[in-house]
Structure 1
Amino acid sequence: MSENRVALVTGASAGLGRALALALAERGWRLIITARGGERLGEVRAVTGGEAVVGDVADVEHRGRVFAAVEAAGRVDLVVNNASALGSSPLPSLERYPLDELEDVFRSNVIAPLAILQGTLPMLRDASGVVVNISSDAAVGAYAGWGGYGASKAALDQIATVLAVENPQLRVYSFDPGDMRTEMHQAAFPGEDISDRPEPETVVPVLLRLIESRLESGRYIASEWAVRS
């Protein structure tokens, strides 16, 4: 059923975004993928056959190129806002958080995903599509050092909640994948061994089931969804 469906995945050059893009391609989805890492994004494009748009989603001009790719595809059925910024590493307390860096985190993790959705909502509505915003347990839990990143993800969760109310024909999900062995997670714990964290590929089957389920819009946690499934 997915032969003609189009998915836009941000942050698709590494981690969960890369793993999801590869899995969607295997299932016949057409892909528009974007990330800052041009070489690695090119490797994903070579495997998936997707349309690769290199750049930072926080950049207005880059988003224009992404929207042009969506327009050229003629439709979009799934938007996955996966690209995000951690902020300072090591993670600072809120007392010492550089405010200019906090602005950058919110620009990447809140403003950019909303802008992506504003530019794709007409086609998403035409397709009765699905939106997935990648969240974090830091959006709902209080962890020292995670105040900036967590606050941005909490704001992104709220965007998803309101977007779902305003667009009942869509399915809008906040998806918390849990801890994963990714570059971002390593940056959050510099010098520490994070090899005990699961690889992003282990989360993808859960995310695919959520995308295909068309459950009610809401916030879903990978570990809980895996148990229910």
Structure 2
Amino acid sequence: MTPHSAIVTGAGRGFGRALTTALAHPDRTVVACGRDPARLRAATDGLPGVVALAGDVTDPRFRAELVAAAGERLDLLVHNAGELGPSPLPALHAYPLDALRAVLETTVLAPLALTQLALPALRANRGTVVTLSSDAAVEAYPGWGGYGSAKAALDQLAAVLGAEEPELGVYAFDPGDMRTEMHQRAFPGEDISDRPEPEAVVPALLRLLAEHPGSGRYRAADLADQTVGEPA
């Protein structure tokens, strides 16, 4: 699949930045968004076809601006923006509820709201929706109750959307551990240099988009095989 127009959230750093760079092409529009204007400019400056819009995906007006910028040819929506929550990661018995609301707002509610706005164009173009998953969505790790439960909810939204919209490709993509600022915040003071850079993981998602299998949950590690297998 070669998108005509794409939206990538959380494009100012990490996996979103690496994916935006890989998708950039003069013949397509990539609408890249992030909260930090300076960081987003630095991430996207000079990339062909990239429209950088700074804002917060939890803002309804900003979501409308993203969809309008992508236009009628929108056929790829990547929900990469997320919220880790407090660092160090707290146990559930001490998890601040206001912090959990913020995690859910950014990681679950905003992606659903943005998808709802984008669906008319995505349907018209038989497009693709990608949500960034995590092994914390399916495994019980102490301290990961907030982030993990949000990603589990996002996984389920993607699964149901795939069932409700059979003409679309809807993928929950688990990139695995990566050497990102968010991952470092999850492990303050620890050395995470053994994790792969986001740029090393992007080819797995590009392969998923190119082969366009049935909707489902896919892991980057599995996409290293010769053919795309069954969803995880």
Query: May I ask how many residue pairs the two structures share in their alignment?
Result: 226
Q: What SS does the corresponding residue of 1:122 show, helix, strand or coil?
A: helix
Length-normalised TM-score, structure 2: 0.93
Equivalent residues in 2 for 1:151-166, closer than 5 Å: 151-166=149-164
Is the 2:4–2:74 Cα contact (8 Å) retained in structure 1? yes
Alignment of 1:102 with 2:100, yes or no, is yes
Equivalent residues in 2 for 1:62-101, closer than 5 Å: 62-70=62-70, 73-101=71-99
Q: What SS does the corresponding residue of 1:153 show, helix, strand or coil?
A: helix
The 2-side partners of 1:114 and 1:45 are apart by: 25
What residue ranges of structure 2 are gaps of 5+ in the alignment? 228-232
Tell me the CA shift for residue 43 of structure 1: 2.5
Q: Who is 1:58 aligned against?
A: 58
The 2-side partners of 1:43 and 1:96 are apart by: 37
Alignment of 1:215 with 2:213, yes or no, is yes
Q: What SS does the corresponding residue of 1:203 show, helix, strand or coil?
A: helix
Q: What SS does the corresponding residue of 2:122 show, helix, strand or coil?
A: helix
Is the 2:178–2:198 Cα contact (8 Å) retained in structure 1? yes
Q: What SS does the corresponding residue of 2:221 show, helix, strand or coil?
A: helix
Q: Who is 1:135 aligned against?
A: 133
Q: What SS does the corresponding residue of 2:7 show, helix, strand or coil?
A: strand
What is the percentage of aligned positions where both structures have the same residue? 55
Residue type of the alignment partner of 2:151: K
Q: In structure 2, do the counterparts of structure 1 residues 205 and 224 end up closer, same or farther at CA, with 3 Å as the change threshold?
A: same
The 2-side partners of 1:139 and 1:92 are apart by: 17
Is the 1:22–1:47 Cα contact (8 Å) retained in structure 2? no
The 2-side partners of 1:47 and 1:111 are apart by: 32
Tell me the CA shift for residue 228 of structure 1: 4.1
Q: What SS does the corresponding residue of 1:16 show, helix, strand or coil?
A: helix
Tell me the CA shift for residue 26 of structure 1: 4.5
Q: Who is 1:178 aligned against?
A: 176
Q: Who is 2:230 aligned against?
A: none
CA RMSD of aligned residues (A): 1.4
